[in-house]
Structure 1
Amino acid sequence: MNDDIGRVQRQENELMLPSFDEAIAFEIGSAIRSRALQDGLSLVVDLRTWDRQLFFSATPGTSADNAEWVRRKINSVRRFQRASYRLVLERGEAPFSPQSGADPADFVIAGGGFPIRVTGAGIVGALTISGLPGRDDHGVAVDALCDHLGKSRSDYALPEITS
């Protein structure tokens, strides 16, 4: 578990974009959508800056619930400035306590929200996936950033969980 936390922190720190705008959001989002359609994955993908959505797509098999999960994951990434899957690893998947001020109606501890970090600017938005188990949602986001940046997926992927 601690190894996974360290790996996610490395992903967050090293999968940094040199810039982020509408064209880059479209490129990354379109690549995720193409992969989902090719692999038969039912997922929603959202890329945004904190002030607006730049890309949204849903593939067959998703529902309004996926978009709601995306909204809550985005809120968690923004508030805690980390991947939502790192919150799972650090805290478990139990809802936030009332004392946290993070109302479960608006925040969720579930994988799939990933901070978009831009060189020289810090975290400017989020890449969020919903539709697969949380660890897999997280993996789709990481794979897409690796592909966009020309980095090896295997260098950043979390290890497979064997049951």
Structure 2
Amino acid sequence: MTDDIAAQLARVQADEAELVLPRFDLTDAWALGTRMRGAAAAAGLPIVIGITLGEARVFHTALPGSSADNDGWLERKSRVARRYSRSSFGVGLSFRAVGRNFDTDARLDTARYAAHGGVFPITIEGVGVVGTVGVSGLPQADDHAFVVEQLRAWLADAS
């Protein structure tokens, strides 16, 4: 494992441990999603944003410069976050940290699963993972960082 991957993985694991929510419902999904859209639009980010609760898509938006390909990536990364109950970036880094490749070693259909950064599990304290929040359209580390930054800001405002 390279030092860079180890450092990234440690940061992502800290993000996953920190960003556990006291609650999350449809109203929260709308508030978080619109906050994320506003931040992405202000920065001119060419991304799609999606939030799910269970298997239901409860928020979705696309900004200028994004495409249907980004929707496909978002869905594939969301499946990883749901399956592993952790961030899609964390899953990919965990495989690389031990010298493995998710695409071949996970033995999952790569047309349906992508362990690339950008989707974070919505985890409720005392309950577990209830959904996902994610973006697609930037390099994977930037997708992940945007979601984490927005979750932190939303949590700070909701407290």
Q: What is the TM-score of this pair, normalised by structure 2?
A: 0.88
Partner SS state of residue 126, structure 1:
strand
2:42 to 38, 42, 63: 38
Letter in 2 for 1:106: R
Contact kept in structure 1, 2:16 and 2:86, CA below 8 Å:
yes
Q: Which structure dedicates a bigger proportion of its chain to helix?
A: 2
- Structure 1 segments unaligned to the other structure (5+ residues): 152-163
Partner SS state of residue 20, structure 2:
coil
| Counterpart residue number, 1:56 | 60
Summarize the alignment of residues 121-160 of structure 1 with structure 2, pairs less than 5 Å apart: 121-150=127-156
Letter in 2 for 1:125: G
Q: Do structure 1's residue 96 and structure 2's residue 100 form an aligned pair?
A: no
Q: Structure 2: how far apart are the matches of 1:143 and 1:90?
A: 21
Q: Do structure 1's residue 73 and structure 2's residue 77 form an aligned pair?
A: yes
Q: Give the C-alpha shift of residue 34 in structure 1.
A: 0.4
- Structure 2 segments unaligned to the other structure (5+ residues): none
Per-residue CA distance 1:35-70 (angstroms, 9 max, x = gap): 111111010010111220111010001110000001
Letter in 2 for 1:108: A
Per-residue CA distance 1:105-151 (angstroms, 9 max, x = gap): 10012100111110111111111110000000001110111001118
Q: Structure 1: how far apart are the matches of 2:75 and 2:92?
A: 17
Partner SS state of residue 48, structure 1:
strand
Q: Give the C-alpha shift of residue 101 in structure 1.
A: 3.5
Q: Give the C-alpha shift of residue 91 in structure 1.
A: 2.2
Q: What is the TM-score of this pair, normalised by structure 1?
A: 0.86
The list of structure 1 runs, each at least 4 consecutive aligned residues, that deviate by more than 6 angstroms after superposition, is: none
Count of aligned pairs between the two proteins: 150
Q: Structure 2: how far apart are the matches of 1:104 and 1:95?
A: 9
| Counterpart residue number, 1:161 | none
